[in-house]
Amino acid sequence: MGLSHLNFIVLSHLRWDFVYQRPQHLFSRCARNHRVWFVEEPQLVDGIRPRLKIRLIHPRLTVVCPELPIGLDEIRQFEEMRQLLDAMLSENDIEDFVLWYYTPMARPFTRHLIANATVYDCMDELSAFRGAPPGLRQAESDLFSAADVVFTGGRSLYESKRTFHSSVHCFPSSIESEHFAVARTSAPDPIDQAPIAHPRIGFCGVIDERMDLALISTVAESHPSWQFVMVGPVVKISQADLPRSTNLHYLGGKSYDEIPHYMAGWNVAMLPFAKNESTRFISPTKTPEYLAAGLPVVSTSIADVVRPYGEQGLVEIADGANDFASAIEKLLQPENAAQRSIRLERTDAFLAKSSWDKTWRDMESLIQQSIAGKQGKDTTQEERMELSSAAD
C-alpha cells in the first residue's frame, strides 16, 4: 500500500495554535493529499468525563484535543487516552495509518496500535527542557525500537540520535521564503510597534528558559538608544523574570501572517539564546526566516546557527554582552544599495536550497520507502511459507 490511502495520526506535545512552526508547516502540506489527525496532549478539566474536542482546520486536517478530568494518576490517564484514541479510529473507519510522534510520552497509550509506518520526528531534546517528564528518556528508547524512520530537527540532534536507530535523517528548519520576503518592502508598522523609535533590534519566537535574559538586560541598559522588540509568548518562566527597561518592548505572540510585518520595521534581528542544556541541540526556525526577511542577524554561538549560517558569513556570532553589542553596532552601520544587493543575493542563494515543500516531499518519500520495504519483507515471508508447505 502506498501513501494515498493512509491517514496520519500525529501525536504532539505542542498545541496547533501555539506558534506556527515545524508541525504546522509539514502537516499543512501533508493535508493536501492525506487525511491528518493532529492529536494534542490532553487538557485537564475539572468535573468532566473523558472526551475529545474535534476541530476541523482544513477539509483533511483535524485537530484533536483530549480532555481528561483533574485527579487521574498517570496510569489512568494513559488508559483513558488509549480508549479515546481507539474510539476515534473506530468511529472514523481509520484502518491504515502512519503514526507520527513528536513526543515519546505518547507511547504508553499508542503502543498497541499497528501502523503501516511509525515516524519519530525529533524536533528538540525534550529531556533537557524545564519540566520534562521523568519517564521521557525511557519512552524515547521505546519509541526508537518501534520507529521505522527517525527525523531530526537539526544537525546537532542528528549527531546525537543517529546511533540509536538505523534510519535517522536530518531535516533542519526550513523556510517559506516568499512569506517572509514581504518584510523587504516598505509597509505600515503594526499599531503596537509604530510608536517605538529606531534603531530596533528584534526577536521573534517563544520567550522561555532558553533566553539569555541577563545578556538582553545588560545590552539594553548599556545602549538606551537602541530599542529591543520582543515578539512572542512567554512560557515556563515568570513575567517577573523578564528584564525591564524603557527600551525593552514585549509585544506578545503574533500570528504567522503578522510576523513579516513586524520584521519589516526592524534594523537588526537577534537570537539571544543562553548556552545551556536546553539550547544544546536547538535549530532555531527563526534563523532562515530572519534572513528571508532581508534582516542582518546576530546570534549567540548556538551550534546549528554557527554551522552553517555563521560559517558562511550569513549571521554574526557573538557571546557575552560586550561582543553581542559590538556585533549589533556593526550590523547597524548603513548599507549602500550595492552592499545590500550583494548581501541579499548571497542570502537568497543559500535559502534557495531548501523549502518546507521540499522537506515534506523528502520525508514523504522516505516513509513510502519504509512502507514498501516492510511490504517486501512480508511478501518474502509469505513466499518462504508457501515454499515450506510445498516441500512438506
Q: How confident is the model at residue 390 (pLDDT cuts 50, 70, 90)?
A: very low
pLDDT of 93 > 70? The answer is yes
- Global pTM reads 0.90
Which CATH number characterizes residue 209's domain?
Answer: 3.40.50.2000
Query: Residue 124: its pLDDT value, please?
Result: 85
Residue 158 in domain: yes
Q: How confident is the model at residue 387 (pLDDT cuts 50, 70, 90)?
A: very low
pLDDT of 105 > 60? The answer is yes
Question: Is residue 223 domain-shared with residue 116, that is, in the same domain?
Answer: no
Question: Is residue 63 domain-shared with residue 160, that is, in the same domain?
Answer: yes
Question: Is residue 282 domain-shared with residue 157, that is, in the same domain?
Answer: no
**Range from 10-24, 326-340, 369-383 carrying the lowest mean pLDDT:** 369-383
Question: Is residue 339 domain-shared with residue 195, that is, in the same domain?
Answer: yes
Locate 305 and state its grid cell: 546557527
* Average pLDDT over every residue of 205-228: 97
Residue 14 in domain: yes
Domain coverage including residue 105: 7-174+356-385
Eight-class DSSP state of 124 = S
- Identify the sign of the CA torsion 294, 296, 299, 301: positive
Question: Is residue 82 domain-shared with residue 167, that is, in the same domain?
Answer: yes
DSSP per residue, 36-51: EEEEEPPEEETT---E
Residue 107 in domain: yes
* Average pLDDT over every residue of 17-28: 95
Count how many domains the chain has. Answer: 2
Q: How confident is the model at residue 3 (pLDDT cuts 50, 70, 90)?
A: low
Question: Is residue 267 domain-shared with residue 249, that is, in the same domain?
Answer: yes
Question: Is residue 119 domain-shared with residue 188, that is, in the same domain?
Answer: no
Question: Is residue 97 domain-shared with residue 198, that is, in the same domain?
Answer: no
Residue 261 in domain: yes
Question: Is residue 170 domain-shared with residue 182, that is, in the same domain?
Answer: no
pLDDT of 375 > 70? The answer is yes
Q: Which of 370, 188, 184 is nearest to 295 (CA)?
A: 184
Question: Is residue 84 domain-shared with residue 198, that is, in the same domain?
Answer: no
- What is the per-residue pLDDT across 243-260, written as a single tens digit (0 to 9) for each? 999 999 999 999 999 999
Q: Distance between CA 95 and CA 116 in Å, rounded?
A: 9
Answer yes or no: are the C-beta atoms of 104 and 139 closer than 8 Å: yes
Residue 211 in domain: yes
Answer yes or no: are the C-beta atoms of 115 and 134 closer than 8 Å: no
DSSP per residue, 154-174: SHHHHHHHGGG-S-EEE----
Query: Residue 385: its pLDDT value, please?
Result: 37
pLDDT of 389 > 50? The answer is no
**Range from 5-9, 334-338, 348-352, 374-378 carrying the lowest mean pLDDT:** 374-378
- What is the per-residue pLDDT across 158-213, written as a single tens digit (0 to 9) for each? 999 999 999 999 999 899 999 999 999 988 899 999 999 999 999 999 999 999 99
Question: Is residue 169 domain-shared with residue 191, that is, in the same domain?
Answer: no
Query: Residue 125: its pLDDT value, please?
Result: 83
Residue 390 in domain: no
Q: How confident is the model at residue 382 (pLDDT cuts 50, 70, 90)?
A: very low
Class of residue 271 by CB neighbours under 10 A (exposed 0-12, middle 13-18, buried 19+): buried
Residue 2 in domain: no
Q: How confident is the model at residue 131 (pLDDT cuts 50, 70, 90)?
A: low
Give the mean pLDDT of the chain.
92
Q: Distance between CA 126 and CA 132 in Å, rounded?
A: 7
Instruction: Give residue 125's identity as a one-letter amino acid code.
Output: E
- What is the per-residue pLDDT across 289-341, written as a single tens digit (0 to 9) for each? 999 999 999 999 999 999 999 999 999 999 999 999 999 999 999 999 999 99
Question: Is residue 61 domain-shared with residue 188, that is, in the same domain?
Answer: no
